Amino acid sequence: MPEPSSPEPFSPSAQHVRIIALLEVLICSDYPTQLAVGTTFRSLGFKPYTAPGALNASYVVGASIADTILLLGLILLFLYSHGERPRDVFVGRTSTLRELVLGVLLIVPVLMLAGLILLTIQRVAPYLHTVAVNPLQSLLSSRRAAWMFALMVIIAGGIREELQRAFLLHRFEMWLGGGTVGLIVTSAAFGIGHLLQGADAAIATGVLGAFWGLVYLRRRSAVAPIVSHSGFDLLQIAQSLVAR
């Protein structure tokens, strides 16, 4: 009687891997995690607004940090499940110090780029200024709120969004059509996610997202985009405080 043959190890097809990669991209697009965190916070009695048009600083900061923890946890889970090292994806083989310096040097050019985009929109298509007052400015009502907001933009803005962008671009490069496709898709989604601040701000944000994504694709490191993004957000907060 012949001995039963041992089962062959499962080898996923390319199509199967692409479907898994697409699911990972959708899960880490930030919309599912934000929905989950927001629903949880509201069910616990935390409200996003204290009054019409006035965001609740504690809610925004708490939900953003919770979303950061959840999202980055999922990204690490997906990387390790494929045998990938986070350092290879997020830092690469370039000098971290060199990337830090580059990130600092890019802060002012990025600020100028954003200003140029908004000025151009104001001249060419002023109707895209759909929000008279940026609702995020309500988070700067006090010094304590400003410090909380500054912490949030570093953690949930610079760190979370750039690590997320690096992961998504990595997935597109590997299995979903390439880096150019990923750059277009992630930049559009990044801009749409900021429509709360107005259509003009969403367009500017999408272009900045494309810039930071291009830096990542060229450098293979998210360090410079993290520093540049964080510095850009902090300078915007400082500008808002000075203008008050």
CB atoms within 10 A of CB 167: 26
Indicate the domain borders of the chain. Answer: 14-243
Which pLDDT value is given to residue 237? 86
CA distance 123 to 115: 12
Beta bridge partners of 51: 54
CA distance 128 to 123: 11
- Distances from the Cα of 25 to the Cα of 75, 120, 164, 167, 183, angstroms: 9, 33, 10, 8, 13
Which pLDDT value is given to residue 216? 97
Which pLDDT value is given to residue 138? 67
Do 213 and 85 contact (CB within 8 A), yes or no? no
For the chain, how far is it from start to end, CA to CA, in angstroms?
A: 88
Amino acid at 101: V
Do 121 and 203 contact (CB within 8 A), yes or no? yes
What integer is the mean pLDDT of 33-58?
Answer: 84
Which pLDDT value is given to residue 219? 95
What integer is the mean pLDDT of 212-225?
Answer: 96
- What are the tens digits of pLDDT across the range 90-142? 999 989 999 999 999 999 999 999 999 999 999 999 999 988 777 777 667 77
- What are the tens digits of pLDDT across the range 155-209? 999 999 999 999 999 999 999 999 999 999 999 999 998 888 889 999 999 999 9
Q: Rounded to the nearest 5 degrees, what angle is found at the Cα of 71, between the Cα atoms of 171 and 96?
A: 65
> Would you give the distance in Å from CA 103 to the centre of its chain?
16
CB atoms within 10 A of CB 201: 23
SS (H, E, C) 109-178: HHHHHHHHHHHHHHHHCHHHCCCCCCHHHHHHCCHHHHHHHHHHHHHHHHHHHHHHHHHHHHHHHHHCCC
Do 75 and 163 contact (CB within 8 A), yes or no? yes
Which pLDDT value is given to residue 13? 76
Return the closest-CA partner of residue 64 out of 133, 141, 191, 149.
149
**Tokens standing for 205?**
């944000």
What integer is the mean pLDDT of 34-40?
Answer: 92
Three-class secondary structure of residue 51 per DSSP: strand
CA distance 214 to 205: 14
